[in-house]
Chain A
């Protein structure tokens, strides 16, 4: 039997190759986030000072919605030709499959963020007053927080009727502390008024708790039938 790290790697490479050839998730996410940026920008029309205060919220709301678009497609792809049932009967550990899917989504959403950040800077005249390098750990930890829960809840919602709408309904309430931490950390860094240290620690705690929880419980979700 193959090692679980091999299964994770193979599944991840397969997903990346599929995405590279079709670019379904990335294109829809990018266009969606672009629309959010444009609509917010002209509905608020903020000055540089104002935008520094509200940008944290806007950026993360845009990324959250875009991430939902991508994460929704994670498992739907495996329903065709009963691929998910094949996973279920195979002796491969469920966790390595989950990790591969979560890492894949993490890469997609990170690429999206890297492409969208310049646009945010242009549209909102952003310039960080606080230590800008801290935005990097906030982005990485925040993205992982969204993606690990998103991948997990997407696996839960493919079993329900109207699964597309089910994912945000499950994901948003649980993500409130992570979202608050990301938004507040980003705003603190941009305005330079507060230290973002506490929020980064909170994000680390959130990531550790939910990564452990999801890995422990994923087996039950995959085999729930």
Chain B
């Protein structure tokens, strides 16, 4: 220690000599237009490592500068300036904004950021100006149709309804195909919670600054586990230094139903019963004419309001926002009430060496789920019956005044009015991230990120006392309650070294670290049966899954032209046994910035031209269950006991397990080109990729007489996904008053199963895809050489009049018998091509935008028609009547052969083009140089669908169309005020 003191004091003595030989350069940097100081401007002395940056007031002080040194001032978004040092006392530099650089978006790539122009992977970033406008209430709605390779299909039109999100088709069969969501650096748990809604709706859309989609392995490999299906990084808005700014965003929305299922009209129904039914059935008809779908749907109104405050002093900036939304769905009683709070604090201490960032997104959602069973019931309920009897009670089918008809359907309006299904869920995602730039080595930075994701929810409900007149077996006065609580923790620790080695003209950005994630889930459920006065508790075991990993990445930039990224990640999961626990996920990517090359550098019309190529391996282990690899015994609950002697015993069953389960691995090869011409008036990218997933995790059949059940999880095979993504953005017109942008993206995709190991040759493969009308029967199939989830159906025979012949199918293998060996694979649900087109026009204070979306090559199984399009279904029993669909009048099907459900007649082309969003906005007179504004917008969502599909909506994830909650058209009037 003492020697260090001696050296220090010696150095101190030397200082005066330094001063004599060199000078201090100080001054101020301002924005040329506004005259405001710019903090954080980089100041470098050319040819040396000396550097500094401006402080909060734009002031700087640079030491060790020699006369004649060239000093470069640079900052993102501004044109750099170079000044020769001539021992000026103090200097004021005015930096001018660089229009072309404004497109320099900084994107999140996991444990760091890069500029878009330096990214080596297939990455797309959307910011506030790119997001879909209108009645969006969750992150997935903001980017639908905007990113090549990203397909988002929501589950239906209920507010807060979840969506199925796929990046490049998803790579698994039974394992989770969802991409990984990262919110402010915290990978969040997949899925929601009891009593909740779409987990993405827990983040208020007004708080989102940018969404980055990482598509290929070189981008996602740094997230290793959980990243096989791509990564979507959501970054919330941060504070801006300066005076307090208040922003208000609010809207009022009106939703209306667009299309209904074509059921038989009352007169068509009467005709059928009178011609084909027997006397008893004709006597069951009523006198009314009821449109049951009209009875359960309504026009719905909703509001969504959000206020945010941002400001900051010195080194502490903050942003806080509060939001409240009350959205009603078009199904009666369907309602979601959401309150959100978002807080963000960023502090810079120790002379900008220590940065602490605190984020918190919390939300409370109260839902009234209504009863979605009413949607299916409305299609099948007798249209000749009135909603209510003359005495005010609901019409229902009874065998006698004292006995309910156990098999008949239930009055759809009574399902909504006489059942309560409510939910409350709370979610809080928060993290604190500290970044410390070492004082002795400013290029080295240590980052620690501690985060949590807590969700808890309760779903409960009850049945009315007078449901089915309170008769035995009706379930009246029964109640249920399900609770769930999930606690997830994250810790990331890493070091980052970022240095430019001038001698090699190379920038090194190296990161290495450790990540720990822990997921806990516990739930309870109880059901109270009023008639027996008993409460039955559900069986649950609290689960815990733990993931740990070690990761490292190096970004090497040579001469600002050649980019290389190498990354490696080693992940361990608690789901698998120790032998299979760890997976290794490397990735390599190269990029060449052609426009920086000598021969292109001076071609001004080319602003960006970058070739990229990458390879990497990512892993997947999320198969839903937490303990698939260890032997467990499961207890029975109180209603599944068995009596031996005089005692009822709880029984214990050994659970199926597979100790050989291991990581599913996807290896991706991606090649792409990013381009920008004419000062970025034309920008775009093209990507070609191939992803091969091996050791696919699949819940599949055991051989008979082996295994504790007939199904278990295995690593079974390989899938090959290929695709091409193209994106283009044009600004054809750009003047002072008028700007017209048009952009589009198109994705071509193809998936094929190339290996299945638990399926032997010459066998039909693995059957999946259950449907209504045949419990336990399936309509889809996985087999080698075909797309996953291909429809597996009988070939319908047609007559000379091109009408299908009832109950007759083609004997494809010509063995004289029509059985399962005559089934064949006919199309699939996944699209071959999907695309999006958006355009916006800004003229003075007006702006207009439109978003189109489409898909081609996707087919649906019309389960509504297959289940209800048959005369036998209508006249099934003598105790009650069931409505059918209009399709029965076309086909005249009446055969009861169960094969009819699986006829290829019901596999229908569902290609579509949708006008998803159209909007107009007006910004009231905005003062120049002022950030305050008042803007009014009017928009409509789900405006138009062009399709040949005969069901109510062609866009169904998974391709099985059955009782979809219809998607409404939503008109929105919005107001945005910045104070």
Are A and B physically bound partners? Answer: no
